[in-house]
Chains A and B, each alone.
Chain A
């Protein structure tokens, strides 16, 4: 994705902008919608959201000012693109990884009950951790039992959130490797048994 936003550029400003998106689900919804559509106009963004076009217009402007999205046109009607937000956020006692996938998951938590419940119980940091597990789950590198044990939650809850997040990971990160290399795995098992 062009235009990666990292904490290296303007640490404080960027941090604040990202916290904004994390706290305000309306911003998260706008970000997710722009990411989904590629380079939409404000009208196109608004078409899929509950807010009025005026509100969406203001939100897009705000996100553009803080650099979370960027305007890609010189003339009206303007089109916008979501920047790839990759950074580590420290909030209270917790540190977690922000990614476009997490922002889309936050937006979807509004309409998806399983995701909403998970977010209520585990917070944004917990959801960010689940996104990391989900990426490994898509890659065939982990399963719900491992996550359940490490995060101290029921397997049912872990499996459910992994399945919901899997769909988001596949959508937002189309380059994620979703086929496990079985020959490589066989070799790793050989190696571990000969130790």
Chain B
């Protein structure tokens, strides 16, 4: 990935941790710049969107809303829970999160697996042939990858660690005018 910051994929689904990494470092503008230069739109599952704009906001306009308005972030439609591939992907993600943090599976909500559900929904609806998923949650991604491989989508999902993209984008743009 020499000068390509983003992997070659039809869709780029991001988890909450990616946006927060840029937001808390005052670097959302760098993320915007990198997406526009690479012609990438970041897709945000509903749940992630809700998490990025909690009640009692410390600011008037949440950065994610400005990004949506500017067009480089888009909120995804509801996850298609009725689709068996989607629901089995989400179940698998829950099992992985639960195994990693040694908490009972019932304490992990289905919505916690929404990044996986959104990815499966895009593939099942043929809205994308390939999806890059941006998260720091290695366990959750392992669940997504395994579930979708079992469903025949092997090679169609790629993992990008949010912190790696953050570092790459900052290295590239921070010291430029």
Interface membership of B127, Cβ < 8 A = no
B residues in contact with A157, CB < 8 Å: 54
Given contacts A146-B108, A156-B54, contact A141 B100 (CB under 8 A): yes
**Smallest Cβ distance from A181 to chain B, in angstroms?**
10
Q: How many residues of A sit at the interface, in one of the four size bands?
A: 20 to 34
Closest to A142 in B: B101
Interface residues of B (CB under 8 A from A): 16-17, 20-21, 24, 51-52, 54-55, 92, 95-103, 105, 107-109, 112, 136-140, 142-143, 146
| 9 tightest Cβ-Cβ pairs between the two chains A and B | A154-B54, A188-B99, A155-B51, A142-B101, A140-B138, A189-B99, A159-B20, A145-B112, A180-B138
Interface residues of A (CB under 8 A from B): 114, 136, 140-146, 149, 154-157, 159-160, 163-164, 180, 182, 185-186, 188-189, 192-193
A residues in contact with B16, CB < 8 Å: 144, 155-156, 159
A residues in contact with B20, CB < 8 Å: 156, 159-160, 163
A residues in contact with B100, CB < 8 Å: 140-142, 180, 185, 188
Cα separation A114 to B137 with both chains bound (whole Å): 21
A141 and B54 contacting across the interface, CB-CB below 8 Å: no
Task: Show 11 A/B contacts (Cβ-Cβ < 8 Å), sorted by A.
Answer: A140-B100, A143-B112, A144-B17, A156-B16, A156-B20, A157-B54, A159-B51, A160-B24, A185-B139, A186-B142, A189-B99
Cα separation A155 to B92 with both chains bound (whole Å): 22
Tell me the total A-B contact number using a CB cutoff of 8 A: 78
**Smallest Cβ distance from B23 to chain A, in angstroms?**
8
B97 and A114 contacting across the interface, CB-CB below 8 Å: no
B24 and A114 contacting across the interface, CB-CB below 8 Å: yes
B residues in contact with A156, CB < 8 Å: 16, 20, 51-52, 54
Cα separation A163 to B105 with both chains bound (whole Å): 25
Cα separation A144 to B162 with both chains bound (whole Å): 14
A141 and B112 contacting across the interface, CB-CB below 8 Å: no
A residues in contact with B139, CB < 8 Å: 140-141, 180, 185
